[in-house]
């Protein structure tokens, strides 16, 4: 279980001070799928970075399975917002890297890499370098990479943002299937409210910067959910309306500040 206990972040770079996140309190249960949604710059990636142990909170703490996160949190697989593939390694070699670092036997690595490439629909692209892949393909390789070494918790920062609308729905379905079968905990950042509702057990709506959690809504739509059809269900529309009413004023506030 992940406990975010009053974790706040203020960045100080020389004389420049940016209050990114106000103290955040949230507990995420084992096996839960939780999404963060909120305006650009409200601190969503900052919070994932703190859970991953890449940056330390200015105050408060992140506790994962009873231990305070200090330094890299190896229980998490992190699919960052930026491209993280090594350009000089093929797709297959990128997926293999975390497995090799964990001293997986070479034959097992090859089998696992092939399985993961097939899972993300790239069975014929293992030999391609990142520069030879589309934006969406690179995202799928990054997904295959974190799934390959099977961490109990996945942190995913807009993983499907670069995919076309149809492929995005297909990948959402795949991710839910993997999550339901493997019992993983997933913390997911998205700008797409429909995506957050489709996937999540709970959605945390962030305020404009400095970010705080404005509301946490439970999505009680039945599972399994079909990303291609869920938006036509009456119950979905009610959830969407409720969340949109929470989110819209924050987007408006963020826009007013940015373009004042
Ligand atoms: N390493 C850093 N040094 C200084 N400021 C930072 C750093 N990382 C983030 N910030 C600032 O913290 C704030 C929150 O950034 P963050 O990346 O967490 O936002 P976000 O919610 O993920 O936005 P987006 O939806 O656009 O990805 C921003 O004002 C950003 O400029
Ligand atoms: Mg971000």
- Do 49 and 103 belong to one domain? no
Please list the residues that pair with 17 across neighbouring strands: 12
Tell me if 128 is assigned to some domain: yes
User: Are 33 and 188 a contacting pair, CB within 8 Å?
Assistant: yes
- Do 217 and 144 belong to one domain? no
Tell me if 80 is assigned to some domain: no
Q: How many whole angstroms from 41 Cα to the centroid of ligand 2?
A: 7
Closest ligand 1 atom, CA of 38?
Answer: 21
- Do 111 and 196 belong to one domain? no
183 dihedral zone (left: phi>0; alpha: psi -120 to 50; beta) = left
Say yes or no: CB of residue 21 within 6 Å of ligand 1. no
Q: How many whole angstroms from 257 Cα to the centroid of ligand 1?
A: 15
Tell me if 8 is assigned to some domain: yes
Q: Which of 210, 224, 238 is nearest to 38 (CA)?
A: 210
Determine the average pLDDT of the residues in 194-211: 96
Tell me if 98 is assigned to some domain: yes
- Tokens standing for residue 108: 């097992």
- Do 62 and 164 belong to one domain? yes
Determine the average pLDDT of the residues in 17-32: 96
- Do 18 and 138 belong to one domain? no
Q: Would the pTM of this model clear 0.75, i.e. be above it? A: yes
| Closest residue by CA, ligand 1 atom 24 | 40
For 95, phi then psi, to 5°, come to -65, -35
Q: How many whole angstroms from 6 Cα to the centroid of ligand 2?
A: 20
Domain boundary (108, 134, 151) is at 151
Q: pLDDT tens digit string along 68-105?
A: 999 999 899 999 988 889 999 999 999 999 999 989 99
Q: Which domain holds residue 103?
A: 85-151
CA distance 79 to 65: 20
User: 29: domain CATH number?
Assistant: 3.40.50.300
Tell me if 205 is assigned to some domain: yes
């Amino acid at each position: 279980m992940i406990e975010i206990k009053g974790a706040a972040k203020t960045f100080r770079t020389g004389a420049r001070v940016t209050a990114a996140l106000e103290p955040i309190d949230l507990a995420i249960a084992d096996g839960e799928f939780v999404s963060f949604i909120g305006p650009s710059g409200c601190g969503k990636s900052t919070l994932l970075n703190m859970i991953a142990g890449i940056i330390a909170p200015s105050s408060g703490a992140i506790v994962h399975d009873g231990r305070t996160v200090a330094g890299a949190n190896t229980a998490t697989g992190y699919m960052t917002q930026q491209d993280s593939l090594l350009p000089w390694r093929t797709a297959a070699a990128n997926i293999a890297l975390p497995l090799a670092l964990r001293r997986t036997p070479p034959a097992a690595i090859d089998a696992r890499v092939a399985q993961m490439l097939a899972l993300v629909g790239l069975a014929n692209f293992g030999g391609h370098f990142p520069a030879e892949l589309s934006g969406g393909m690179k995202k799928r390789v990054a997904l295959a990479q974190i799934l390959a070494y099977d961490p109990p918790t996945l942190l995913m920062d807009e993983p499907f943002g670069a995919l076309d609308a149809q492929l995005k729905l297909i990948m959402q379905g795949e991710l839910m299937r993997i999550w339901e079968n493997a019992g993983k905990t997933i913390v997911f950042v998205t700008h797409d409210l429909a995506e957050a509702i489709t996937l999540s057990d709970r959605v945390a709506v962030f305020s404009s910067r400095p970010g705080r959690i404005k509301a946490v809504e439970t999505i009680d739509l039945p599972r399994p959910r079909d990303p291609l059809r869920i938006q036509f269900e009456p119950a979905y529309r009610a959830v969407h309306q409720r969340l949109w009413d929470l989110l819209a004023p924050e987007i408006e506030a963020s826009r007013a500040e940015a373009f004042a």
